[in-house]
Amino acid sequence: MAENWVESTADDLRRWADERGEALDEQGARILLELLQDEMGLAGPTALTPEALRELLLSVFPESVVAGGDDVPTVLDALRRIVAYLRDTGAVPAPAAADLDAEIDRTGPAFADLVAEMDTEERQAAAEVIGGLMRADGVSLDDQEAVEAWIRDFEALPEDERYARTEGYLQQVEDLVVPPVRLASEADVADAVRRSRLTESVLALARWTGERPLTEHDTLTDSDAEAAAHALGLEAPRSHGQMEDAGELERLWWAAVEAKVITAEDGAAKPGPSLEGLQSEDDSTLLATWLPLFEAMVVPEHDYADGLDAVELVQNEMTGVLIHLYEQEEPTEPETLVGALLDHVAEAYDLTDGETMPALVSDAFFLELATFEEWGVVETSGKARELTPLGVWAVRELLLADGFSAPVVGELAGARASELIDGLTWYRPDAADEEIDGWLARHDPKDAAADLLDVMRTGGPGARNLAAAVLHRIGPEAAAVVRAAQEHPLVSPYAALWLNAAGDPSGRELAREEYLWVFVDTVAGMLETAEPEEAVEAALIDAPPGAEMKAMVEDLWRTDHPGVADVLEALGAHHPDKATAKAARTAAYKARSTH
C-alpha cells in the first residue's frame, strides 16, 4: 500500500503558513492533496506537474467535490499556497513552481465555468429531490404557502433524519427504474390502436348507446344491456376452463365512461368529449384519447364487496403481469406468469377457499390473457407471450404516469460520456450495444475517447469497466489520446489493453500485478449492481482454471485496490472450488488487516 503522504504534507503546509503569518484554508488544501493522492495516484506533492494540475481542476475536482461558484477563489488560492510551499521548501525548483502558477492562471477561468455548470446541475438535482419528497408528502408544488411550510418543517428536522429521508427517497427512485425499450413509431402505434378490438368495442358501444336514459346508478337498463350485448356480439360470456366472464359489457361501459368516451350522469347517457378523439385521424390525438381508456380497462379497481371473485381478482393484478412482460428480455411462457401470479395472490389475499381458488385464478388468468391478445397488447411467440409494440408503448406510458423512469433505446446518443455510462447500467446487452453504437456515431472518435478516459479517471470500478468496454469500440484513430492517458494509474492498465488490442506499437502485455488489479476492478464493478454470487459467476467466465486461479487468489490481497477485500470475500463465499474459496477467505483476512 502506498505511503500516505497527505498527513505529513498537510502538517508541514500548516506550519509553513503559520511561520509566514499567511492565511490558509487547511481543509481545502487537504482535500486537494487527498485528490492528488487517492484519485490521481501521485506518489507525493513533488510529482505535481502542469498537466496533472490541469486534470485536477478540470476533471477530478468537479467530479469528486460538491462546490459552488463562490468556492472557486478559495480553491485556487489553496492551490497557489501549495505551490508556494513547494517552491519555498525546495520541494520543486522555482522554474517548475512558476510553470504551476502559470497553469493555475490559465486553467482558472475554465475551472470557474465548469464549477458553475456543475453547481447548477447539482442545484437542479437537489431541487428535483426536494420536489419529489414534497410530492410524496402530498404537497402541491403550485401551492407556495404549503411549499414554504414544508421546507421550514424539513429544515427543522435533525440532520440524520433529513439524510435518512433523502436516502430513502433516492432508493425509491432507483427502484422505479425499468429497463430501456425500443418504441415503435407513433404512426405504427396509432395504426395498432385503430385495429385494436378494445377501440372497436368501445366505439361500437358509444355509437349504439347514443343518447338514452340510464338507471339511477348511471348504467344501462337490463333490456338495453341485453340489446347492447347482442349488438356487440357479447351475448355468450367468454370462458376458460371453469371460469366465465359475464361482465365484459359492464367493464367496457365503465371504461368508456371513465375515459369520457361516453358521458353518463343524471340518469342519461350521451356521447362524451373523447369520442371524437377516439375516431381521430391525427395520431397524437388518438393516442392521447386511447390511453385513459386502456388504463381504465387494466386498472379496474374492484373492491370485492361481495367477496373474492377470481375474474375480478385477476383483472386487478394484471398490471403486474404487464410490467413483468415489459421488463423481460425474452418472451415468457404463460405457466411462468400464472405461477408468479398465484404466489402473489396467496401472499396478498386471505383466500378462504384455498383449495379451489388457485385453479379458478389460473383459469381467470388465461381468460384475461386472451383478452389482452384481442386488444393487440400481448402476442404469442412460440409457446410464450410478449408485449406487442402497442403493449410496450401503453405500459411505458402507465409506468411514466406512476413516476417510473422508463428510458428508450437511442435517448443517450447525444449525451455526455458520464451520462452514457450512468445510463448503460440499466440496459440489457443487446440494447446497450445499440445505444453505444448510436452514441459513437454522434461523437468524434478522439473526443469520445478523451471523454471516456475522463470517466475512467474519476468514476468508480463499475463506471471504469463500462467506459473501458465502450472505449474498445473506438478504432485506432483514438490511439494518440489513449497513449497520452497511460500515465494515470487508474487508466494505465486499460490503456495498455486497448493499445495492445489495436496493434499500436506502444501496446504491451500487462504485468502480473496490473492483471490482478484489473481483475479486482472488474469484479468490484460487478458488485456495485449485482449480487455477490452473480458477480463471481460472471467473473469466472474468463478467469484462469484450477490451480492457476487458486494461485491468483492467494496473491490478490497484495493488490493496491480499495475493493480487494470485498472481492475476496465474495470469492470466498461463492467460488465453486472449495480450495480456491478457502484461499480467498484467507486472503480477504490479510487484505482487511493491511489495507
* Per-residue model confidence as pLDDT tens digits over 7-64: 899 999 999 999 988 888 888 899 999 999 888 888 888 889 999 999 899 888 887 7
More confident residue, 427 or 585: 585
Query: Cα separation of 75 and 57, whole Å?
Result: 9
Region 98-115 average pLDDT: 90
Q: What is the DSSP string of 333-380?
A: -HHHHHHHHHHHHHHHS--TTTTTHHHHHHHHHHHHHHHHHHHTSEEE
Q: Residue 354: what pLDDT? A: 59
Q: Residue 471: what pLDDT? A: 96
Range name among 220-224, 344-348, 385-389 with the lowest pLDDT average:
344-348
Confidence of residue 313 (pLDDT cuts 50, 70, 90): confident
More confident residue, 224 or 125: 224
Record the cell numbers describing residue 205, joined without a space: 358501444
More confident residue, 133 or 275: 275
Confidence of residue 113 (pLDDT cuts 50, 70, 90): confident
Letter string b/e over residues 506-530, b meaning 16 or more CB atoms within 10 A of that residue's CB: ebeebeeebbbbbbbbbbbbbbeeb
The strand ranges marked E within 252-339 are 262-265, 268-271
CA dist 117 → 112, 480, 492 (Å):
9, 29, 29
Considering only CA atoms, give the Rg of the chain: 31
Residue 593 has pLDDT above 90, yes or no: no
Residue 166 has pLDDT above 90, yes or no: no
C-alpha angle with apex 233: 231 to 234, nearest 5 degrees? 110
Q: In this prediction, what percent of the chain has a pLDDT beyond 90?
A: 55
Backbone angles phi, psi at 157, to 5 degrees: -70, 155
Residue 521 has pLDDT above 80, yes or no: yes
Region 392-420 average pLDDT: 91
Range name among 178-187, 304-313, 390-399 with the lowest pLDDT average:
304-313
Q: Residue 346: what pLDDT? A: 81
What is the per-residue pLDDT across 522-556, written as a single tens digit (0 to 9) for each?
999 999 888 999 999 998 888 887 788 889 999 99
Record the cell numbers describing residue 204, joined without a space: 361500437
Q: What is the DSSP string of 73-141?
A: HHHHHHHHHHHHHHHHTTSS-HHHHHHHHHHHHHHHHHHHHHHHHHHHHHHHHHHHHHHHHHHHTT--T
Q: Residue 1: what pLDDT? A: 36
CB 267 within 8 A of CB 218: yes
AA letter at 551: A
How many helices (H) and strands (E) the chain has is answered by: 29, 7
Q: Residue 146: what pLDDT? A: 86
Confidence of residue 351 (pLDDT cuts 50, 70, 90): low
* Most confidently predicted of 129-133, 345-349, 518-522: 518-522
> Residue 370 burial by CB count (10 A; 0-12/13-18/19+): exposed, middle or buried?
middle
Query: Cα separation of 136 and 35, whole Å?
Result: 37
Query: What is the rounded average pLDDT for all residues in the chain?
Result: 89
Residue 595 has pLDDT above 70, yes or no: no
Question: CB neighbours of 282 closer than 8 A, spacing ≥ 6?
Answer: none
Region 80-90 average pLDDT: 94
3-state secondary structure 391-423: HHHHHHHHHHHCCCECCECCCCCCCCHHHHHHH
Query: Cα separation of 319 and 301, whole Å?
Result: 11
Q: Residue 257: what pLDDT? A: 96
More confident residue, 282 or 137: 282
Confidence of residue 116 (pLDDT cuts 50, 70, 90): confident
Q: How many CB atoms lie within 10 A of CB 128?
A: 11
Give the residue carrying C-alpha cell 422508463. 406
Q: Residue 246: what pLDDT? A: 85
C-alpha angle with apex 435: 431 to 441, nearest 5 degrees? 145
Query: Cα separation of 579 and 547, whole Å?
Result: 9
Letter string b/e over residues 391-418, b meaning 16 or more CB atoms within 10 A of that residue's CB: bbbbbbbbbeeeebebbebeebbebebb
Confidence of residue 2 (pLDDT cuts 50, 70, 90): very low
Residue 236 has pLDDT above 60, yes or no: yes
AA letter at 28: G
Given the DSSP bridges, would you call strands 262-265 and 243-245 parallel, antiparallel or unpaired? unpaired
Give the residue carrying C-alpha cell 402507465. 398
Q: Which helix (H) or strand (E) holds 242?
A: none
CB 55 within 8 A of CB 40: yes
Q: How many CB atoms lie within 10 A of CB 135?
A: 12
Region 160-174 average pLDDT: 76
The dihedral sign for the CA sequence 123, 125, 127, 130 = negative
Backbone angles phi, psi at 524, to 5 degrees: -60, -40
pTM of the shown model = 0.67
Query: Cα separation of 493 and 490, whole Å?
Result: 7
The closest of 515, 506, 520, 521 to 461, measured between CA atoms, is 521
C-alpha angle with apex 68: 62 to 70, nearest 5 degrees? 125
